[in-house]
Each structure stands twice: as structure tokens, then as C-alpha cells.
Amino acid sequence: MRELTTDADVRAALTDSAHYSSRPMGALDRVLIGADPPGHAPVRRLVAAALRATAVPDDVIAAMAGELLAPALQHGKAEAVADLARPLAAAVTAAQLGVDRAAAGDLLRFGDAVSAVADGQPPDLAAFAELDLAVARWAASRRSCPTGDGISIVVTGARGQAGLKPREVRSLVRLLVVAGIVTSARLSAVTLLAVATDRELQARVRARPADAALVVEEALRRDPPLRFVLRQAAGETVACRLDQANRDPVAHPDPERFDPDRDEPHLAFGAGPHRCPGAGLARRQAKVLLQVVLARTSALSPAGDAAWERDQHLQGPAAVPLALTPS
């Protein structure tokens, strides 16, 4: 497999869908992430509109984060991945799609099952069967009785304006269920880790909460949750290495240094026609979680080493033990 590793090469490939087909992404879904022009555009418009119409507001995300944080404040400690980042990503996804909050745990399991397969592990057949059943159930209920939630908009529009077949509609819903959870959770975790381990940065964001957005951006740049995306060019599979392009010293001088004041476009969300339509939501989740944690604590520090996980596709902390002092 050929690899592209510089910012310029990866950007050029991702913006040139005439020569770089998204077909190899079809293992995830063939109607959007694995589709090429001209079929891609109407589906993309539909999904982007659904995500815009059902955007979860910051104050709702803050309330979810506050709820998750409450037991941690009581005990003075938290494991940021399991206690905060992952359940928040699941709750936000559930709210956006219109899935019962009680099913949020299932969404995490589905996300994990799909990313394990992307990493070459044998499929968790039970989880996949449950995912397919849940998607079919959600799609059928919204088709007969649309509610205005994310699934309803996609299901209604996919049959109408995009002319998709029922199987394709289910593929799209499935993509929306799994695309944002594990990735957003990793971003939130790496953002919290950056601030917990750097006192100066923490003091700065405590004094100027708006700077949380800059920390999120630099976390995305230095440690993009998704390490690569695939394309096919001249019959050959090409790995576009987002992780390496984001540490390309030409685009990002002194690339290992965590510097929230960089103003350098990065590739964590891809580029071109397939650029992540959930980028805004993922950014807001990580930013709001960090702001809520800092607003409700007077001190935040690591309570042990963070376990860093680098799978084939994804990277980020697997566990971030934190000590918190309530404010």
C-alpha cells in the first residue's frame, strides 16, 4: 500500500476525487463515505442538513457534562475516558440522532465493534447483529412516524431527494451511529489530558475559557484521533496519513510541541468533498467538556500515567486518571 505522509500530498489527494476514489472506505458504508461524485453530493447535502438541523446546543452538552462530572467531584477523582469522554460522546450522539438516552451504552458498543473490525480484529458478531437490528428498527419507526430528529431527516430525505434504496438508507444511518462516537471521545480525552498535564496551559484556560477552543484545535493537530483514510488511485490503495501530515514540519514547525497558538490548518477532519460533517459537533463537545471541568474545579492533575492506545486506525488515551478539587 502506498502512503502519503506530507500535508501537501494528503491535502492534494483528498481534494482530488477524480483521481483518488473513496471506494476503499466502502467497508464502512458505500453511499456516503465510500462513494465518489456524482453520487456522493446529494447524500452529503442530506446528511450535512440533518446534522445542522439537529445540532446539540452547547448548554445541553454542558448539562450532560455536568451530570457526568458530579460523582467525580464527590470522589475527587475520575478516569476521564470511561467516566467523561465516552459517555458524553454517546449521550451527544443519542441526542442528535434521536435515540433514547438509555440506549447510549449500546451506541458505544456499536462504535467499538466497528472500529475493532477496521483494525483487523475478528468481528463481534453479536454486536453487529444488534446494530443491524437497532438500525432497521429506528429507520422503520421514523419512516412511519418522522419526529424531526437526525434519523428521521436522513430516512425521509434519503428515500425522497437522494433516491436511496432501503438497504442504502440503513447503511447511512449505521454510519451516523458509529462515525462520531469513538473519535469524539478520543478528542475529548486528549484535550483533558493536555490541560491536566500542563499547569500553565490550565491556568490560562481557567482565566480565559474561550481559549479551550484553541486547546481542542491543537489536540486535533498533534494527535488526530483518526490516523488515516484510504483512497484508490490508478488501481492502487493509498493511505492518506492524517497523523503524519499533521506532524509535517513544513506545515507545522516544531511539530511535536503542543502549541495552542498555532494558526495552521490541519487534516484531522480530512479535506475536500468528504471532509467530516461532524467536525463542529466534535470540537464543541471537547471544548464544552473542558470548560465545564475547569469551571467546577479549582485544581486538576494527573493521578497516574495515561495509557496511550495506538490502534491501526485510531489513537488517543485509553485511560486518563485525574485528581480533581471541586471549586
- Kindly list the residues in this chain that would bind ligand HEM in the complex (CB under 6 A): 14, 22, 25, 32-33, 44, 47, 51, 175-176, 179-180, 183-184, 187, 224-226, 229, 268-270, 274, 276-278, 281-282
Nearer to ligand HEM by Cβ, of 182 and 324: the residue is 182
Dist CA 169 CA 176 (whole Å): 11
Dist CA 240 CA 47 (whole Å): 24
Nearer to ligand HEM by Cβ, of 34 and 321: the residue is 34
Nearer to ligand HEM by Cβ, of 13 and 127: the residue is 13
Which residue type sits at 155?
Answer: V
Beta strands 236-241 and 228-233, pairing class: antiparallel
Dist CA 84 CA 102 (whole Å): 16
Dist CA 37 CA 199 (whole Å): 48
Closest distance of CB 29 from ligand HEM, Å: 8
Dist CA 141 CA 143 (whole Å): 5
| Cβ pair 272, 15 in contact under 8 A | yes
Closest distance of CB 74 from ligand HEM, Å: 29
Residue 52 grid coordinates = 445542522
Dist CA 27 CA 282 (whole Å): 23
Nearer to ligand HEM by Cβ, of 282 and 306: the residue is 282
Query: How far lies 59's CA from each of 5, 65, 275, 289, 326, in Å?
Result: 38, 10, 26, 11, 21
Dist CA 12 CA 6 (whole Å): 10
Closest distance of CB 311 from ligand HEM, Å: 14
Nearer to ligand HEM by Cβ, of 179 and 290: the residue is 179
Nearer to ligand HEM by Cβ, of 278 and 321: the residue is 278
Nearer to ligand HEM by Cβ, of 173 and 300: the residue is 173
Q: Is the dihedral of CA 126, 140, 55, 218 positive or negative?
A: positive
Q: Which residue is nearest to ligand HEM (CB)?
A: 278
Cα–chain center distance at 324: 26
Residue 249 grid coordinates = 514540519
Closest distance of CB 126 from ligand HEM, Å: 25
Query: How far lies 65's CA from each of 147, 288, 314, in Å?
Result: 25, 8, 24
Closest distance of CB 207 from ligand HEM, Å: 26
Closest distance of CB 37 from ligand HEM, Å: 11
Closest distance of CB 228 from ligand HEM, Å: 9
Nearer to ligand HEM by Cβ, of 174 and 296: the residue is 174
Q: Give 264: exposed, middle or buried? Use CB within 10 Å, 0-12, 13-18, 19+.
A: middle
SS3 98: coil
Closest distance of CB 128 from ligand HEM, Å: 19
Closest distance of CB 39 from ligand HEM, Å: 11
Nearer to ligand HEM by Cβ, of 278 and 317: the residue is 278
